[in-house]
Amino acid sequence: MPRGTYARNTRGNEWVHEPIGFVIHPEDLVGAEPHPDPGRRSGCHGLDGLDGPNLVCGGCGQELGTRQADCFTQNHVTLDFAAVKRSFTGD
């Protein structure tokens, strides 16, 4: 996923462990932290995203979505639709 873009994934795929949500480039994510549960941060060379959401809000701890960046996955973040609020900045 190129920086500054997003896509809606409304057809998650359990076979390849693709969650539904807004797909963004990992460097476009602001204010997220790794999930406090180590069981959600599995993978061999990076996060594989196979164990549910692995990102939380750094402010309130709410689950945000799933980062996938392992050797057998694409490098992207899928944000849960319910965790996203549209806003604009001056940047």
Number of H helices, E strands in the chain: 0, 6
Query: Which of helix, strand or coil describes residue 39?
Result: helix
The pTM score is: 0.86
Query: Which of helix, strand or coil describes residue 9?
Result: strand
- Tens of pLDDT, residues 48-82: 999 999 999 999 999 999 999 999 888 999 999 99
